[in-house]
Amino acid sequence: MNETLTPQERTKVLVVLLSSLFTALVAVSIINVALPSIQEGLGASSTDLQWVLTGYSLTFGIVLVAAGRAGDLLGRERLFIVGVAIFGLFSLVAALAPNAIVLNVARAIMGIGSGIMNPQTTGIIQQYYRGKDRARAFGIFGAVVGFAVAIGPVFGGAIIDWFPVEVGWRWTMGINVPLSALSIVLAIMWLPKTPRSEATKHDLDPIGAILLGLAVLFTMLPFMIGSDHPGAWWFLLLGAVVGVAWLMWEQHYRMVGRYPMVNLSLFRIRSFSLGSAMITVFFAGTTTIWVLLAQFVQQGAGQTALIAGMIGLPAAILSVYTSYIGGRLVVKYGRWLVVTGLVLNMIGLALTVAAAFAIMDGAPVWLLTVSVLPIGFGAGWITSPNQTLTLREVPPNHGGTAGGIMQTGQRIGTSMGTAAVTALFFSQVSAGYAVALLWGFGLIMGFMTLALAIALLDAFKGRGEDTV
């Protein structure tokens, strides 16, 4: 419980968790700038490069809920160390990969390690922090996420420039090895040893874990490969069937007196259900904003990749600040802080489209740096505050499972949104990149509007009680 740790001990716990989270997130954002070097260094095909990106995301999404459940039962710090170890070991394999096949297998297993580690982070914060302290912890959590996303491409670009083309991309993955080793040492020293759950007798519900993993796989896969393999869209139907089978199994498992992987009563908690739905829809839109913007800056405005990265940097840094202060403001304003963040994002989308058309008429490309500031500012008031509010009523012994469910929704939302938005954007490129950006951001605005509606529903239903 919270009372068993001093403030200094809880600070050490947060340092361990966030240092590993930072490493994993930088590994994700670095890979985007490393793809051209990987293609040249390994002679990788475009399909190989696609799987460098999607293989990690796919395995990450598949294991999240099962890993959260295992951490709740077996001890979160144990699973955290296992996840970091897998991530670090296969980062080394990826860095030494002699060909694209080995690289993609290693990246997929890195995703498994990261998927095991991530739910433990939210679960441990849920376990040892309460009330205002928990809100501040998640605020710092969000600030680290924002900083990692902002610095990853810059850091990766610098590494690639320092080394020859066949070596630079290897160091973008090899750097994870010493950082992971340090995280393991600190985890052994500073993370409290939690007792294994006595009530559930290690009832991991393996059939439930397999069914849910398959449902997530079949749901995400078409959005990742459907453009090249149209027949893959049939997997969506299979995913729905397996998802229903999983729900029936979990209900049966509970009725025979066992402990299912996911306690479905979690979804009867209003704040958890609505918060999870909101963040899923939000991620369907927000993750493609910077992808489309980079395309517009480089292909439409004829600028370099470095300029494309620098345009979004002030907004990303601003999100670090707002995430931090959001951990304090959410205590007072609750769900209305999330509502404000979503409105700011929508304003930023509209301003950016207007700026794009102005740039096509001769305005400087740096106008985009100003137009995207509301997006960065608002983002800090969405993700971390939502995490605090969504998990606030979840019992601590289900913290890892609940965190895994939230992150699984984010991964599914990301894969669906990326496929839909990028397909719409590229279908309109022939009319001009500003027009394509208008259509792409229009669909993103639709996702944001739906997320806003869900947040408002939660805010109005929780009026008078929506504080942390």
What is the per-residue pLDDT across 207-252, written as a single tens digit (0 to 9) for each? 999 999 999 999 988 887 887 788 989 999 999 999 999 999 999 9
Question: Given a cut of 60, is residue 196 above it in pLDDT?
Answer: no
142: closest CA among 266, 405, 318? 318
pLDDT of residue 202: 61
The better pLDDT of the pair 5, 112 is held by 112
Split at pLDDT 50, 70, 90, the class of 198 is: very low
pLDDT of residue 159: 81
> Domain locations in the chain?
1-191, 205-260, 269-461
Mean pLDDT of the chain: 88
Predicted model pTM: 0.82
pLDDT of residue 287: 81
On the question of a common fold for 1-191 and 269-461, the answer reads yes
Read off the amino acid at residue 53.
Answer: L
Report the C-alpha gap between 37 and 49 in whole angstroms: 11
Q: Considering only 87-101, 189-203, 291-305, 338-352, which range has the smallest mean pLDDT?
A: 189-203
What is the per-residue pLDDT across 164-184, written as a single tens digit (0 to 9) for each? 877 888 998 999 999 999 999
What CATH number labels 1-191?
1.20.1250.20
Split at pLDDT 50, 70, 90, the class of 466 is: low
Percent of the chain scoring above 70 in pLDDT: 95
Q: In the structure encoding, which two tokens stand for residue 28, read together?
A: 């994700």
**Ramachandran angles phi, psi of 85, nearest 5°:** -65, -45
pLDDT of residue 464: 54
Average pLDDT over residues 375-383: 93
DSSP 398: G
Domain at 269-461, CATH class: mainly alpha
pLDDT of residue 259: 84
How far, in whole angstroms, is CA 138 from its chain's centroid?
A: 14
Average pLDDT over residues 111-124: 92
Place of tokens 């049939």: 234
Name the 3-class secondary structure at 33: helix
What is the per-residue pLDDT across 240-291, written as a single tens digit (0 to 9) for each? 999 999 999 999 998 998 888 888 889 999 999 999 999 999 999 988 888 7
What angle, rounded to 10 degrees, do the helices at 100-128 and 76-95 form?
Answer: 160
Report the C-alpha gap between 321 and 100 in whole angstroms: 39
What is the per-residue pLDDT across 416-453, written as a single tens digit (0 to 9) for each? 888 788 889 988 989 999 999 999 999 999 999 999 99
Question: Given a cut of 90, is residue 12 above it in pLDDT?
Answer: yes
Report the C-alpha gap between 11 and 5 in whole angstroms: 10
pLDDT of residue 199: 42
Split at pLDDT 50, 70, 90, the class of 4 is: confident
Split at pLDDT 50, 70, 90, the class of 49 is: confident
Q: In the structure encoding, which two tokens stand for residue 429, read together?
A: 């490129």
Q: In the structure encoding, which two tokens stand for residue 223, read together?
A: 């959005």
Q: Are 387 and 141 in contact, with CB atoms under 8 Å apart? A: yes
Q: Which of 47-61, 259-273, 334-348 has the highest mean pLDDT?
A: 334-348
Question: Given a cut of 50, is residue 2 above it in pLDDT?
Answer: no
pLDDT of residue 262: 86
What angle, rounded to 10 degrees, do the helices at 305-333 and 383-391 form?
Answer: 40
